[in-house]
Amino acid sequence: MSSLIQQEWASLILAGSDVQYFDQCTSTNSLAAEAAVAGLDTPKWFVAGRQSAGRGRRGRAWASGEGNLYCSLSTHLNVKIADLSTLPYVVSLAVRDCFIDLGCDSTSVQCKWPNDVLVDEKKASGILIESSASQDQTIDFVVIGVGLNLASYPDDAQFPATSIQERLGKRVAVTDAFKSLAFRLNERLADWQPQDVSGLIEEWRTVSWGLGHRREIRTANESFMATLTGLNSQGGLMLVLDDGSTRTLYAGDVFEAPCPK
């Protein structure tokens, strides 16, 4: 890595957070977690041009082509472990803010449960939140990992994907995207009140993809059809199944309902 690139990223000290950039690493989340275990005085961002072992939720590999943004924030949050259930909504709304800053029409950017952000109904971002808690259930640290498809996207993703370059017809600088994301996430974290998330849930609901519609639900053990009716105060997805029964989901994925044969 050239000293010029290092200086450019090191100068991006945003909202009291240091920034460390790597041409390539295994995973920015792994670096952020290692730094947190070793001890951090202030929040710190880890950014990579490429990842050799990027990962998403549930252990899935995260394609890490050049020109996209791969970053993780290592920070301490004065909350209990149970409070983290609504953090994905905070982060996904910050990513949505970022995409709008970059030029996407606000009506085209939606949040998909549990923590994806779509542009024109295609996935443009992924979020992976990891944490460590003490025996009293207080948080030791939180790692917030975000990947933004700025220049490219995988063509074999489970959910149709896109890039900001494809949607806008122009290339977006990684540094511009990062500065917007870091600023917007800092704003959202400052406003987050885990004991009163009614406003957060309502905002997420108004920009969501799929609420009020019949969708395919996939969990680790099953797949079924249900209508998405809302979120509860713990961030659970409330469903009405085709047989009329109700259910609240805390882990899984949502997909477009398959076309009738």
Arithmetic mean of pLDDT, 173-185: 94
| 256, pLDDT greater than 70 | yes
| Confidence class for position 2, pLDDT limits 50, 70, 90 | very low
Question: In this predicted structure, what is the pLDDT of residue 24?
Answer: 86
How far is the CA of 65 from the CAs of 12, 15, 131, 154, in angstroms?
Answer: 23, 28, 26, 9
Residue with tokens 């549930």: 58
Residue with tokens 């950014």: 47
Pairing of β 44-51 and β 18-25: parallel
Mean pLDDT, the chain, whole residue set: 87
More confident residue, 252 or 138: 252
| 169, pLDDT greater than 80 | yes
Question: In this predicted structure, what is the pLDDT of residue 229?
Answer: 96
- HSE-up (13 A, CA, CB side) for residue 120: 10
What percentage of the chain has pLDDT greater than the value 70? Answer: 87
- Lowest mean pLDDT across 18-32, 55-69, 208-222, 244-258: 55-69
Q: What is the pLDDT of residues 10-39, one digit of tens each?
A: 555 555 568 889 888 888 999 999 888 888
| 60, pLDDT greater than 80 | no
| 59, pLDDT greater than 80 | no
More confident residue, 46 or 139: 46
Question: In this predicted structure, what is the pLDDT of residue 4?
Answer: 41
